[in-house]
Amino acid sequence: MSQQLKQIFKNKLFMTIVIIPFVISLLYLTLFATDRYVSSTQVVVRQQESGQQASMPGLAMLIGAVDPVSREDTLYLKEYIVSHDMLKILEEKLHWSDHYGGRWYDPFYDIAIDAPLEDKLKYYQRMVSTHYDETTGLLRVDVEAFNPDYAEKVLKEILVQSEIFVNNITRSMADEQLAFAQRELIAATDRYESKQAEVVAFQNQYNIFNAEVTAESLNQIVANLESAIVTEKARLNALKSRLSHNAPQIKAQENKINALIKQLEAEQRKITTSEITEDDLLNTIAFEYRRLQVDLLVAEEFYKTSLAVVENAKLETIKNIRSLIAVVKPNLPEEASYPRRIYNLITILIVLLLLYGVTRFVVASINDHRE
């Protein structure tokens, strides 16, 4: 056995490729590699539902079909968790660099406390990992730390900030839509009130309530007068057939007809030339009044539509509220998950032996070609 060991140590190739790297790995994993504890959670972003969906049991609802909106929000959250914004919050609240920095004896997991933000972010993304499950819609978050309590604390803070993030993106979009609808309602209200004021001012200016009704009334008066004149002329003709032309009855009838004719002419002048103003014709006034009425009707419809949009935006704001649900709560790890020393050593040894075998085969092939 000792002879075989001597032969092994005399084999420089084996020493270089297998023994020395394995011993270095052994020393690192046993003496320098720091234990890393992992705290995990699984979360999902869900939209508020109503009716039957709201009454479903929690887990049954969570593992149902993935809502495209919730999927999109969850993917946003996934990116936010590993972003520099989250890192800055953890730095401020939990002094992240103090925990992870200054481990010079473990070169694979060392980060300078005053390292640039870009380097810290790369290190942070090694220690915090996220995975989104397309089937269930669950987002898994794992946090590695050199202390079990700190790993749990970091993960809980990530969940707190994630909930704030979800609420903010939901409310920001809803508030923007509601604010736009309210601005439109204010504009519609101002327009409606302005058109109402124009109609009232027009009515007061011309001392009328409805110009169309006024025009129709004058036309009716003219028609009645014309009918009365025709009737009285027929009566005059009947009198002339029985009495002399100088008879008092005929003179009285002619005077009556002349009075009706003068009244008719006066009413006709009211239609063609307004007595309400000297410049405007009554038909023009009626046309202008109809235009104002149409503008008022359009403004009223626009106001009603804007009011309905605001109410709908308020309902959508309530309906689209999203919440972050922790399906699996952050755990306090009881033992270190990394490094897996035995597994790593066995893996390293196998890889080194394979590398040694390949190298010997190549060297032997070269020697054979030389001979």
Tell me the DSSP string of 3-70.
HHHHHHHH-HHHIIIIIHHHHHHHHIIIIIPPPBEEEEEEEEEEE---TTGGGS-HHHHHTSPPPHHH
Which of these ranges, 87-101, 148-162, 178-192, 351-365, has the smallest mean pLDDT?
178-192
Question: CA 244 to CA 221: how far, in whole Å?
Answer: 33
Least confident of 48-57, 250-259, 275-284: 48-57
Min mean pLDDT across 100-104, 185-189, 264-268 is at: 264-268
Dihedral in degrees, nearest 10, Cα atoms 178, 180, 181, 186: 120
pLDDT band at 343 (very low <50, low <70, confident <90, very high): very high
Give the separation between CA 298 and CA 198, rounded to whole angstroms. Answer: 14
**Binning pLDDT at 50, 70 and 90, where does residue 246 land?**
confident
β-bridge pairing 139-145 and 128-132: antiparallel
Confidence at 37, pLDDT banded by 50, 70, 90: very high
pLDDT at 6 over 70: no
Q: What is the DSSP string of 225-248?
A: HHHHHHHHHHHHHHHHHHS-TT-H
Local structure of residue 113 (DSSP, 8 states): T
* Structure-block tokens of residue 33: 């590699």
Backbone phi, psi, residue 2, to 5°:
-65, -35
The 3-state DSSP composition of the chain as helix, strand, coil percent (nearest 5) reads 70, 10, 20
Neighbours of 307 (CB within 10 A): 15
Residue type at 162 in one-letter notation: S
Return the sign of the alpha-carbon dihedral for residues 61, 64, 67, 70: positive
pLDDT at 130: 95
Q: What local confidence, expressed as pLDDT, does residue 239 receive?
A: 72
Q: Give yes or no for residue 241 having a pLDDT over 90.
A: no
Distance (Å, whole) CA 276 – CA 273? 9
Most confident by average pLDDT, 63-72, 138-147, 287-296: 138-147
E strand spans, the chain? 37-47, 128-132, 139-145, 322-328
- CB burial of 24-57 (b: ≥16 within 10 Å; e: otherwise) equals ebeebbeeebeebbbbbbbbbbbeeeeeeeeeee
Question: Rounded mean pLDDT of 248-260?
Answer: 82
Length of the chain: 371
Q: Give the lowest-confidence range in 12-21, 48-57, 268-277, 294-303.
A: 48-57
